[in-house]
Amino acid sequence: MESDQYNEPTVIGGCSVPVRVNRKSKRDPTVVNISGVRIGAVPVTIIAGPCAVESYEQLLSTAEAVKKGGGVLLRGGAFKPRSSPYNFQGLGKEGIKMLVEVRKQTGLPFVTEVMDPRMVEFVAEHADMLQIGSRNMHNYPLLIEVGKTRKPVLLKRGMMATLEEFLLSAEYILNQGNEQVVLCERGIRTFETTTRNTLDLSAVPMLKHLTHLPVIVDPSHGTGLRWMIPAMANASVAAGADGLIMEIHYKPEEALCDGHQSLNPDEFFLLMSDLKKIAKAIGRDLAEEISL
Ligand code: PEP
Ligand code: MN
């Protein structure tokens, strides 16, 4: 029997890897191109920005900090999946317009969440990358709809999803002909209560082992604790993540959403210099330039 890695059994530890996302179906890792920003190549890609778009001033100031710190892609939710219907739900279409304007000002492409299959066309028209949030990883009509677009997709792991279920959701998107999918580990629910979620860093090497798709980590939702983000961000890069998505806010204490897990600009700058050292120590670097 050959010992070649491409001849390993398809079922690994009880996880059956679907065909299109399966690493065996493709020799080279997938590199996703988001308006010139690549995820899945050697350099590690840093995505940062506020949890939610709150105002033009908030978004622009935060985006300027992202750029200054070396982030290459801006995040910001306009359609927010809030657990409570009484919390700030996002600015909707207005928020998307602000993201477009801030992209013009800073040159940073942006990723933003789409929650409703009926909004996919509108969001895809404006955004550089579509985010499917944790709560919607199992929303199959939504996965099919984003799969019909040719926009890169950031698929976040469901908070109660196994890696097999996660990969099956990615398969839905690829099945529609859209192969530009990035997987994001963002923490899962366990019996632990000290952190918002349990960040499953073992998912990083396991997913890299099972699929050719790029894998990034969200240490903000993964911990829910601002002070813990640097440690888990550094560990994610050391574990082989192709990128990070992190919440930063120009004034976290005034944030309408997730301020407690948002870094301020100075904390972000400090973290970026550590991340660069770790990336270099493992033969990578931080992605710097937008190469259109
Ligand atoms: C987000 O990234 O804005 C978000 C809501 O995260 P998640 O879907 O992972 O909870
Ligand atoms: Mn958030």
* pLDDT tens digits for range 146-160: 999 999 999 999 999
The reply to whether ligand 1 has any atom less than 6 angstroms from the CB of 81 is yes
List the end-to-end C-alpha distance of the chain, in Å, as a whole number. 45
Q: Which residues contact 138 (CB under 8 A, 6 or more apart)?
A: 158, 161, 165, 169
Q: Which of 268, 290, 291 is nearest to 48 (CA)?
A: 268
Residue 3's pLDDT is 45
Greatest alpha-carbon pair distance for the chain in Å reads 62
Neighbours of 94 (CB within 10 A): 12
Going by their DSSP bridges, the two strands 37-39 and 32-34 should be labelled as antiparallel
Please check whether residue 45 is in contact with residue 73, taking contact to mean a CB–CB distance below 8 angstroms: yes
Distance in Å, CA 91 to ligand 2 centroid: 14
Going by their DSSP bridges, the two strands 32-34 and 11-12 should be labelled as unpaired
Four-point Cα dihedral 121, 122, 127, 128, nearest 10: 20
Measured from the CA of 133, which atom of ligand 1 is nearest? 8
Distance in Å, CA 247 to ligand 2 centroid: 7
Residue owning the nearest CA to atom 9 of ligand 1: 134
Percent of the residues in the chain that have a pLDDT greater than 90, as a whole number: 93
Residue 10's pLDDT is 60
Please check whether residue 68 is in contact with residue 265, taking contact to mean a CB–CB distance below 8 angstroms: yes
Going by their DSSP bridges, the two strands 11-12 and 15-16 should be labelled as antiparallel
Percent of the residues in the chain that have a pLDDT greater than 70, as a whole number: 94
Q: Is residue 27's pLDDT more than 90?
A: no
The reply to whether ligand 1 has any atom less than 6 angstroms from the CB of 157 is no
> What DSSP designation does 25 have?
G
Question: pLDDT grade, residue 122 (50/70/90)?
Answer: very high
Residue 1's pLDDT is 41
The reply to whether ligand 1 has any atom less than 6 angstroms from the CB of 134 is yes
Distance in Å, CA 250 to ligand 2 centroid: 15
Please check whether residue 237 is in contact with residue 200, taking contact to mean a CB–CB distance below 8 angstroms: no
242-264 pLDDT tens trace: 999 999 999 999 999 999 999 99
DSSP string, 37-84: EEESSSSBEEEEE-SB---HHHHHHHHHHHHHHT--EEE-BSS---SS
The reply to whether ligand 1 has any atom less than 6 angstroms from the CB of 90 is no
The reply to whether ligand 1 has any atom less than 6 angstroms from the CB of 186 is yes
Distance in Å, CA 119 to ligand 1 centroid: 18
Question: pLDDT grade, residue 2 (50/70/90)?
Answer: very low
Residue owning the nearest CA to atom 3 of ligand 1: 51
The reply to whether ligand 1 has any atom less than 6 angstroms from the CB of 77 is yes
Distance in Å, CA 134 to ligand 1 centroid: 6
| pTM score of the predicted model | 0.95
Question: pLDDT grade, residue 290 (50/70/90)?
Answer: low
Question: pLDDT grade, residue 289 (50/70/90)?
Answer: low
Residue 15's pLDDT is 79
Ligand nearest to the CA of 113: 1
The reply to whether ligand 1 has any atom less than 6 angstroms from the CB of 160 is no
Handedness of CA 138, 154, 164, 175 (dihedral sign): positive
DSSP string, 114-177: ---GGGHHHHHHH-SEEEE-GGGTT-HHHHHHHHHS-S-EEEEPPTT--HHHHHHHHHHHHHTT
The residue type found at 137 is M
Give me the chain's average pLDDT, please.
95
Measured from the CA of 184, which atom of ligand 1 is nearest? 9
